[in-house]
Structures are given as structure tokens and as C-alpha cells.
Amino acid sequence: MTLIELITTGYAVPCSVLSDWIAKTADRFNTAFIEQNRYIQYFKGLGVTLEVALFAGIIGIVIGTIMALFKLSTTEDGKPTIWNYIASIYIDVIRGTPSVLQLMIMYFVIMASVDNQILVASLSFGINSGAYVAEIVRGGILAVDKGQMEAGRSLGLSKAATMWHIILPQATKNVIPPLGNEFITLIKETAIVGYVALSDLTRIANQIASKTYDAFMPLIGAAVIYFVIIKILTILLGNLERRMRRSDNR
Amino acid sequence: MKKKLFAAALATIMTVSLVTGCGKSTDTSSQTSEDTNQTASADKLVVGTNAEFPPFEYLGDDGEPDGFDIALIKAIGEKIGMEVEIQNMEFASLVTSIGSKIDVAIAGMTVTDERKETVDFSDPYYEAVQCIIVPEGTVFASADDLKGLKIGVQLGTTGEFIAEDIEGAEVSTYNKAVDAVNDLNNGRVDCVIIDANPASVFEAQFPDKVDVLQGTAYGFEVENYAIALPKGDTELANKINAALKELKEDGTYNKLVAQYIEN
């Protein structure tokens, strides 16, 4: 066999194998995403995922901030208050149980008669996220120099006013990075809402896999969509963080 | 300079891969016939199932998978002279495992055209029709009454596919059938579409809460359960189909139906 022959036949064979593989993969892609306009379902699922994550994030920040303040509250002589215990119990219980169980208990037991699945899921994830946010906010507040509170108090501001006007604005800058991290975790955690019959992105991928018996494309596709969304979010958070650090350079 | 070196290295790799690619391809023609025989020629038939679909497959008291499908595939194994080894796994993993971790899968799998693109199916071994579970006393006059309802189904079941085709229906997909029925009792869904056998189990469990309606009255098509086989393995398919036919003829099949399904 001459070299020319070798190269031409050698080229032809892998080429047909390759084109076979490409055709097959394209076919699988077609089944998983294009046929019956399935890509619309993925986007609907993504919508549910983001809706739940967004509402849960807002609920989580509100609950978390309140709980952080509860946890930091002390009486005049520095002893823990009743609020302190409430916050500690809440954080312990939520962090000590799996979120999928919390979701199912919320859906099948506590709110068994509530028809709005998105509301139930958002509330469940929000309460869950609140426990983690509480610790983040508490850390952020503690990271603000003690002298700031003392300065505010010595200028005649009340404890609450100092907290609101002086401490919290500075704490905000501290909590943005871990809070962003928590929100990213939250988006991925919503992948379990399929347990309560909500059709989020993960559940849609599962449904399509069980219909076509081909799990590869739907699962990889869903993973890519999650990745892209979170990558975009990471970039936005990075920009926000940089903006907030601008005042640090004096 | 570095770029040139890199280009040269890349060119070498590409040429080598072309040549070796060619080398292999000349051999493959003689090899392929042996390759396809490999799974079938072993004396062991590794069968995947998902033991969560009574009475077709479930975990027995000893923790081993049992049920109609399991008994049937063991009988088939005897006929074709292969030892059957059962592997219990997630339903979703079954099909991707065919041809690698398992040889065939039997798990009350419904034959559909879309699934046929990924796997081959044996001849059907069971006919089933979907049922509708409704709150006690509810009656649907015709298929039109189902339009626009909230319908609960189990993920990956035929009920899900039927419900999606109903006009205006709002479909909730549950992991487990019992979750769907719980939500029916909670009033979150109007009805549940599910296989006949689990439906009768739920009717027995909640006798004064739910009724079961036969799907045939609403134009649901009869579905066929079959064994999923590796795509293109006609030899194994022929063997299994022949064994299945024999079992039906010699009465073993009817005996198993009586033992597992009708009892």
C-alpha cells in the first residue's frame, strides 16, 4: 500500500465513523431538545427554577436579617434575651434537617391544603435559606469594628439607630460575597422541587429522559443551562462587589 | 518557534491517528460478528429492573426483587439455558445500562415509538390499560370531561404521557404514585391517571375516598409491556421471543399471571 493510498483510505474511514457519530448525536440532540418543541419546556422549567429561587432568596434575606439581629440582641447587662433563644432554635432545627424533608413536610403536612405549589416551595426554601443567611449576616455585623457602635452611641444615637444607620450599611458590604454564594446554592438546591410535583428544570429533564429513554442529552442539557445561569450570576456579583469596594481605595 | 513546534506535534498526532484509524478499520469487518455475539454467548443473562412497581416487580420479604416480571424472565432464562442475575437499579438508569452493565431490562416497560429509537423491544408480554382515580362519587361522562382538569401522574409512566395529550390539562408529575393520590385527597388535583394494578391498590386503601374509572371508556389506548433489549441484537431478541412464545403455549405464562397479578 502506498502512502497516498494509506492516507486516502485512512482518511475516508474515520471520516465515515465520525460523520456517523455526528449524525447520531445530532439525532439524539434533536430528540431531546427540538422534537415537539421540547426546548420550550426546558425554558418553562428554568422559569420555575428561577421563580422559586428568587422568591426564596428574598424571603431568606428578610428572615435571615431578622434572625441575625435576634441572635445578636443582648440585655443591658450583656445576657442573652428570649429572642436569642428563638433564633438559636430556628437555626439549629433548619440546619439540622435535610432541605428535601423540610420541603416535603411543608407540602404534604403543614400546608397540605394550599394549592399554590410555587408559594409552598418558595416559603420552604426561604425558611431554609434564612438559617444560613442569619449566620452570614451575623458574621457580617460582627466583622464591623466594635468602635463604630461605641462611636455612634457616644454621639447620642440610640442602639437601634446606630445599628440601622452605621453598622448595617457597613455590614452589607461584608455580606455580599457570601450572600451571593448562598443564592447560587439556592438555585441549585431548588432542583429537588420535583418531589412536590413542580416542573422545574431538573424535573423537565427527567420527564424528557423517561419519555425518550435517553438520559444523556436532557441531563447534560439541563446541567449546561444551570451552569450558564450561575456563570452569568457570578459575573454580575463580581461586578457588584467591585463597585462596592471602590470606596475602599482612598 | 514554540508555535511551530506545537503545530508540528499536532500534525504528527493527527497523521498517526489517521493511520491507526485506518489500521483498525480494515480489521473491524472480521471482528464485528464476534462482538455482537459476546453478550449472548455468555451463559449468564444480567437483567436490570426497578423493584418499585408491584405486582410486576417489588422487593420480596428477603430483600430480593420478586414479582411477575422477575418470575417471567427467570422462566425465559431457563428456556434459553442462561442463568439469570437480577440487578435492581433506578428506572431512569435502566436504559443507559443496557449493553454495558446489564444485558436486558424488564420493568413493566411500555413500548412507544420514541423509546424504540434508543432500544429494541421483545414481543409484548402483557397488555395494560390506564385507569383514572377520582374522588368518591365523581363520574366523567366522556373524554371531554377530562379537558382542562388538574391531573396527577407518576414520573415516567404512561399516565404522564396520556395526561400531557389532554387538552388544557394542568399536569402535576409526582415521584411516587402515593404522593399523587395524597394530593387528590388534599384536593390539589382533580384526578390521577395511573396503571390499573396500583389503581386497585389505592381503591382498596381509601375505599370511601376514591373511585377508579376504567380508561378504556375515555379512549385510552391499550399499552404493551415488553423487555428492553440492546439495539440491534437480533439474536438475543429471537431467543427471548421464542422462549416467550413457548411459555405462553405451555401454560407457564398463565400460571404466573394467576400467581402474581390476579391473586
- The answer to whether residue A36 is domain-embedded is no
Share the mean pLDDT of chain B.
84
* Pairwise CB contact (< 8 Å): B180 & A197: yes
* Pairwise CB contact (< 8 Å): A210 & B92: yes
Q: What is the mean pLDDT of residues B225-234?
A: 93
Domain around A121 = 44-249
CA distances (Å), origin B220, targets A129, B49, B113, B117, B231:
44, 26, 17, 23, 28
More confident residue, A110 or B3: A110
Nearest CA in chain B to A198: B172
Q: Where are the CATH 3.40.190.10 domain residues in chain B?
A: 3-127+225-261, 130-218
- The answer to whether residue A5 is domain-embedded is no
- pLDDT single digits (tens) B168-214: 999 999 988 889 999 999 999 999 999 888 888 888 889 899 999 99
- The answer to whether residue A100 is domain-embedded is yes
More confident residue, B52 or B146: B146
- State the architecture of B130-218 in CATH terms: 3-Layer(aba) Sandwich (3.40)
Per-residue pLDDT of chain A (250 residues; tens, 9 = 90+): 556 665 556 555 666 788 888 888 888 888 888 888 889 999 999 999 999 999 999 999 999 999 999 999 888 787 888 999 999 999 999 999 999 999 999 999 999 888 888 999 999 999 999 999 999 999 999 999 999 999 999 999 998 999 999 999 999 989 999 999 999 999 999 999 988 889 999 999 988 888 887 888 999 999 999 999 999 999 999 999 888 888 776 5
Strand partners, B134: B211
Whether A169 and chain B come into contact, CB under 8 Å, resolves to no
Residue B112 has pLDDT above 90, yes or no: no
pLDDT of residue B25: 40
Which of A13, A108, A194 has its CB closest to that of B22?
A13
Whether A41 and chain B come into contact, CB under 8 Å, resolves to no
CATH number assigned to the domain comprising residue A148: 1.10.3720.10
- The answer to whether residue A9 is domain-embedded is no
Query: Does residue B180 contact residue B199 with C-beta atoms inside 8 Å?
Result: no
Which of B25, B117, B187 has its CB closest to that of A31?
B117
Residue B13 has pLDDT above 80, yes or no: no
The total number of structural domains in chain A stands at: 1
* Pairwise CB contact (< 8 Å): B96 & A216: yes
- The answer to whether residue A20 is domain-embedded is no
Which of B50, B53, B173 is best to mutate for the A interface (most A CBs within 10 A)? B173
pLDDT of residue B261: 83
Which of A19, A210, A219 is best to mutate for the B interface (most B CBs within 10 A)? A210
- State the architecture of B3-127+225-261 in CATH terms: 3-Layer(aba) Sandwich (3.40)
Residue B28 has pLDDT above 80, yes or no: no
Q: How many CB pairs under 8 A join A and B?
A: 85
- Residue B239: pLDDT band with limits 50, 70, 90: very high
- pLDDT single digits (tens) B41-99: 468 999 999 888 878 888 888 889 999 999 999 999 999 999 999 999 888 778 888 88
More confident residue, B22 or B199: B199
Q: What is the mean pLDDT of residues B128-145?
A: 90
pLDDT of residue A16: 76
pLDDT of residue B22: 44
Q: How far is B164 from B156, CA to CA, in rounded Å?
A: 12
